[in-house]
């Protein structure tokens, strides 16, 4: 796994000539350099690829036109002339790594390229964002054993985990067309629900609207149909991670999910953050896979020494809620959840290896969701369904309002970051969405 190797781009003492990147609270220091797609807010400009540095965006389309680089780096920059990351993703991890190294050197304090690159900066405060890539397929996994156990207890108190959970990374194919960028609001979904005691369903707006705190995994270079990707090579096919909120209509889900799984309860909206943090940037924050000693060892195609010792990521995650009443009163969002990605039962590499073991062909820009990332205690649960024990234990907010599930006007913010005691903060930005009233149907 070459992506595990640290290099000069990870030097905690490295500073940038972009002064805002050197702040201790900055989420986008020179050690991060996440990729996204942006344009001037409110304009009709073509979206372009950029890298976040401090409170600025380095416009890679403009950088490529300057002719400052050559070889594989220039080829990578030419791929960034596209209004999405797909072409860059398809070039593979050697290309991404070379570009990241070149940009790190160019943005470092004292770089001779400052005088030319300063004109390629654009303020993040003036930007709007598009999806980082054209997403051909979206697969949502179920990688948190704590989430699976908490939800299973609601329906099977004596046997919450199904027999296959500790053997296979569970997933289902979601709807790529309804993946939206952070900041896009959505209407409460309508669907069939079966009220308690009723004999037949009705078409109604969802009454049990939930969040799911997840990470998104963007596939870089894909594989040919019929081939599989080994666990040792899996991370070479992963471009990077983002934040993901898989909004869920629990009452619609309860009626529809048997026998084939989620459908309309999930396909109305999935929000992702605009910045994709590369696996290489996350190399210093790799940790051992958490798995109980008495649990079965994964089958050989899902197992490797490197995956066991470094397969997980130490990423802090939190969820904030701001109700309409809070917003009108000028109150800041309130933290509901804080947990960590390190608690996941299945790793990124295992998701990729399992997804392709049957010969399934992944493509550049495909998106995986990790599934709800809950920690070992209920205060680290990643969904309201868990926190409120299926709606039986409402949350009381600081302003006196209560919530079992989301109400119209509620705005949810996901945040994520990595940080060692003496190292820089590697942030993912925010993933924000607001619930609007349902649109009348039928």
Query: What pLDDT digit, counting tens, does each position of 193-214 carry?
Result: 999 899 999 999 999 999 999 9
Q: Answer yes or no: is pLDDT of 430 > 70.
A: yes
Q: Does the annotation mark 147 as catalytic?
A: yes
| Model pLDDT, residue 1 | 40
% of the chain with per-residue pLDDT over 70: 99
Exposure string of 109-136, with b = 16+ CB inside 10 Å and e = fewer, is eeeebeeebeebbbebeebbbbbbbebe
Element (H, E) at 150: helix 145-155
Domains 2-130 and 138-436 share a fold: no
- C-alpha–C-alpha distance, residues 54 and 368, integer Å: 28
- C-alpha–C-alpha distance, residues 132 and 47, integer Å: 10
Query: What pLDDT digit, counting tens, does each position of 337-361 carry?
Result: 999 999 999 999 999 999 999 999 9
Query: What pLDDT digit, counting tens, does each position of 274-321 carry?
Result: 999 999 999 999 999 999 999 999 999 999 999 999 999 999 999 999
Q: Say which of 147, 237, 310, 355 is annotated catalytic.
A: 147
Fold category of 138-436 in CATH: Fumarylacetoacetate hydrolase; domain 2 (3.90.850)
How many other C-beta atoms can be found within 10 angstroms of the C-beta atom of residue 290? 13
Q: Which CATH architecture has domain 2-130?
A: Roll (2.30)
Q: Which two tokens stand for residue 369?
A: 């969701």
How many helices, marked H, and strands, marked E, lie in the chain?
A: 11, 26
Q: Where are the domains of the chain?
A: 2-130, 138-436
Query: What pLDDT digit, counting tens, does each position of 5-19 carry?
Result: 889 999 999 999 999
Q: Which two tokens stand for residue 168?
A: 């296979």
């Amino acid at each position: 796994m070459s992506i595990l190797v640290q290099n000069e781009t990870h030097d905690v003492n490295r500073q940038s000539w972009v002064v805002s990147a050197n702040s201790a609270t900055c989420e986008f220091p020179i050690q991060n350099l996440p990729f996204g797609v942006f344009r001037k807010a409110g304009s009709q400009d073509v979206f372009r690829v950029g890298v976040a540095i401090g409170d600025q965006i380095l416009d890679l389309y403009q950088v490529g036109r300057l002719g400052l680089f050559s070889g594989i780096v220039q080829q990578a920059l030419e791929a960034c002339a596209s209004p999405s990351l797909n072409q860059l993703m398809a070039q593979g991890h050697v290309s991404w790594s070379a570009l990241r190294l070149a940009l790190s050197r160019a943005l470092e304090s004292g770089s001779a390229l400052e005088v030319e690159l300063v004109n390629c900066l654009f303020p993040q405060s003036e930007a709007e964002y598009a999806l980082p890539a054209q997403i051909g397929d979206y697969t949502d996994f179920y990688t948190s054993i704590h989430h699976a156990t908490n939800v299973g207890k609601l329906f099977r108190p004596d046997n919450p985990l199904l027999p296959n959970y500790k053997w296979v990374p569970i997933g289902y194919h979601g709807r790529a067309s309804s993946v939206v960028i952070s900041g896009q609001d959505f209407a409460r979904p309508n669907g069939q629900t079966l009220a308690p005691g009723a004999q037949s369903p009705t078409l109604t707006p969802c009454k049990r609207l939930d969040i799911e705190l997840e990470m998104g995994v963007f596939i870089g270079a894909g594989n040919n149909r019929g081939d599989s990707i080994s666990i040792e090579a899996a991370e070479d096919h992963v471009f990077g991670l983002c934040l993901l909120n898989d909004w869920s209509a629990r009452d619609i889900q309860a009626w529809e999910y048997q026998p084939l799984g989620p459908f309309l309860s999930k396909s109305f909206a999935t929000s992702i953050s605009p910045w994709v943090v590369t696996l290489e940037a996350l190399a210093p924050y790799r940790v051992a896979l958490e798995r109980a000693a008495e649990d079965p060892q994964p089958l050989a195609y899902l197992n490797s020494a490197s995956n066991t010792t470094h397969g997980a990521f130490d990423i802090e995650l939190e969820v904030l809620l701001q109700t309409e009443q809070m917003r009108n009163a000028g109150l800041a969002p309130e933290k509901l959840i804080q947990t960590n990605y390190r608690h996941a039962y299945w790793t990124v590499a295992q998701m990729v290896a399992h997804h392709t073991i049957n010969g399934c062909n992944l493509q550049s820009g495909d998106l995986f969701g990790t599934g709800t990332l809950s920690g070992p205690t209920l205060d680290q649960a990643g969904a309201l369904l868990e926190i409120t024990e299926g709606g039986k234990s409402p949350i009381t907010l600081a302003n006196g309002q209560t919530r079992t599930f989301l109400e119209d006007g509620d705005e949810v913010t996901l945040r994520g970051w990595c940080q060692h005691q003496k190292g820089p903060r590697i942030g993912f930005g925010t993933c924000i969405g607001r619930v609007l009233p349902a649109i009348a149907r039928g």
